[in-house]
């Protein structure tokens, strides 16, 4: 049975940030990713000011040129909310933290390329197309049952795709639909407060009166229960709607397209890609015992659902806690709880200033 000191489920920003600090501490760590990288992931794909600073601090650099799409930058002042009576006005998607102002020029990226670059920067071994199906704690070790979807990636070749891996700690960094958190708390996934996000990529025929370098926000109940967005990525207009369980978001998306056509003269081709995810608002859950949760799997999000900054932030905190626990035998969860105190404070400020519900 293969053994690692830490196994991380999920190759997103939280998993990469956690893995990087563990790898640098000389800890044997493995990332399990259920898809083949690069893989698409629903997200605005915008690096806010805090994200940029965290990347510089923890990864030493901003992404390379191939990660960005056009327009490359979006000014904070060009994120606009539309209202039927007042027209357009600025929409805040980031606030200062402990009095510190972040850069106001944001970067427009492809998440598939960004996540791939980020996990490469971690220096950690990644096992792709590998599902973490279940886990159990036995004699102080975590046994993780995995399934290798791509038989060509089996180690050793020709082996059994169903395997058991062993680790000292397991980290759930697998997003808002986290399989790790669902196994820890089966009731969590079905909570009524969960929001469903539906996003499409449509080739643009004519942007009408919408400008390429702006990001548009609409809080119209005809489209969904939470904000709807439109912004450009290369030759596409990315449209996003969201709602709580029971909302017909496909109908909401079609209504959104009609609205953009009639109100702003936008002409689009049929969508080429459709994505979806679930967000779970509520107090973060850091995990239990030998199992730590981080990023959206733990419920870490900043203003109006911004997740990349919170993922890198919390992932680094989790990695720091695990490195210390493995080195001196201290309680990883207790250290992690202390490390995330600043994140919790900032999340509370973001909650107080949140503005994303429609109607």
Count of domains observed in the chain? 2
Where in the sequence is the domain holding 13, given as residue range(s)? Answer: 3-74+102-188+282-352
At 333 the pLDDT is 97
- 11 and 131 assigned to the same domain: yes
Residue 93 lies in a domain: no
First to last CA, the chain: 55
Q: How far is CA 327 from CA 6, 103, 231, in A?
A: 13, 36, 46
Tell whether 216 is covered by a domain: yes
pLDDT of residue 192: 66
pTM of the complete model = 0.95
- Asked if residue 95 is part of any domain, the answer here is no
Q: Give the pLDDT score at 155.
A: 72
List 163's β-bridge partners, or say none. 146
Residue 168: its pLDDT value, please? 98
Verify that 293 and 228 share a domain, yes or no.
no
Domain boundary among 252, 279, 306: 279
Are residues 256 and 133 located together in one domain of the fold?
A: no
Verify that 204 and 345 share a domain, yes or no.
no
The HSE-up count of residue 89 (CA atoms within 13 Å, CB side) is 6
Q: Catalogue the long-range contacts made by 209-215 (C-beta closer than 8 Å, 24 or more residues apart).
A: 209/264, 209/265, 210/237, 210/260, 210/264, 210/266, 211/78, 212/70, 212/71, 213/71, 213/73, 213/74, 213/75, 213/78, 214/74, 214/78, 214/79, 214/80, 215/44, 215/46, 215/74, 215/78, 215/79, 215/80
107 lies in the same domain as 29: yes
Is residue 81 domain-resident? no
Query: Does some domain include residue 83?
Result: no
Residues 144 and 47 in one domain: yes
> Does 122 share its domain with 164?
yes
Please report whether residue 85 resides in a domain.
Answer: no
Q: Which residues of 99-122 are buried (b: 16+ CB within 10 A; e: fewer)?
A: eeebeeebbbbbbbbbbbbbbebb
> How many Å apart are CA 101 and CA 94, to the nearest integer?
9
| Cβ pair 107, 62 in contact under 8 A | yes
Residues 201 and 297 in one domain: no
Q: What is the pLDDT along the chain (359 residues), one digit of tens a residue?
A: 899 999 999 999 999 999 999 999 999 999 999 999 999 888 889 999 999 999 999 999 999 999 999 999 999 999 999 998 889 999 999 999 999 999 999 999 999 999 999 999 999 999 999 999 999 999 999 999 999 988 877 777 778 899 999 999 999 999 988 999 999 988 877 776 788 999 999 999 999 999 999 999 999 999 999 999 999 999 999 999 999 988 999 999 999 999 999 999 999 999 999 998 888 777 899 999 999 999 999 999 999 989 999 999 999 999 999 999 999 999 999 999 999 999 999 999 999 999 999 97
Neighbours of 85 (CB within 10 A): 4
């Amino acid at each position: 049975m293969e053994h690692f000191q830490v196994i991380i489920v999920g190759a997103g920003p939280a998993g990469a940030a956690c893995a990087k600090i563990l790898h640098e501490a000389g800890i044997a760590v493995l990332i399990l990713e259920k898809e083949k990288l690069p893989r698409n992931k629903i997200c605005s794909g915008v690096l806010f000011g805090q994200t940029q600073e965290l990347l510089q601090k923890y990864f030493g650099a901003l992404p390379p040129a191939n990660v960005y799409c056009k327009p490359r930058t979006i000014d904070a002042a060009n994120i606009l909310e539309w209202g039927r009576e007042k027209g357009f006005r600025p929409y805040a998607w980031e606030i200062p933290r402990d009095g510190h102002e972040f850069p106001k020029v944001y970067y427009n990226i492809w998440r598939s390329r960004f996540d791939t670059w980020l996990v490469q920067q971690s220096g950690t071994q990644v096992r792709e197309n590998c599902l973490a199906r279940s886990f159990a704690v036995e004699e102080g070790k975590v046994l993780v049952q995995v399934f290798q979807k791509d038989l060509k990636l089996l180690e050793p070749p020709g082996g059994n795709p169903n395997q058991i891996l062993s680790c000292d700690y397991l980290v759930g960094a697998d997003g808002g639909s986290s399989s790790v958190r669902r196994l820890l708390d089966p009731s969590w996934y079905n909570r009524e407060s969960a929001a469903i996000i539906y996003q499409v990529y449509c080739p643009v025929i004519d942007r009408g009166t919408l400008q390429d370098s702006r990001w548009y926000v609409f809080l119209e109940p005809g489209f969904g229960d939470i904000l709807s967005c439109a912004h450009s990525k290369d030759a596409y207009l990315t449209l996003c709607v969201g709602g709580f369980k029971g909302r017909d978001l496909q109908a909401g998306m079609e209504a959104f397209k009609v609205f953009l056509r009639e109100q702003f003269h936008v002409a689009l081709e049929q969508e080429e890609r459709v994505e979806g995810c679930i967000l779970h608002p509520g107090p973060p859950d850091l995990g239990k015992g030998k199992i730590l949760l981080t990023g959206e799997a733990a419920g870490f999000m900043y203003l109006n659902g911004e997740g990349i900054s919170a993922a890198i932030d919390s992932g680094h905190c989790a990695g720091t806690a695990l490195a210390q626990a493995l080195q001196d035998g201290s309680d990883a969860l207790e250290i992690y709880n202390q490390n995330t105190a600043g994140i919790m404070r900032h999340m509370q400020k973001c909650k107080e200033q949140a503005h994303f519900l429609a109607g």
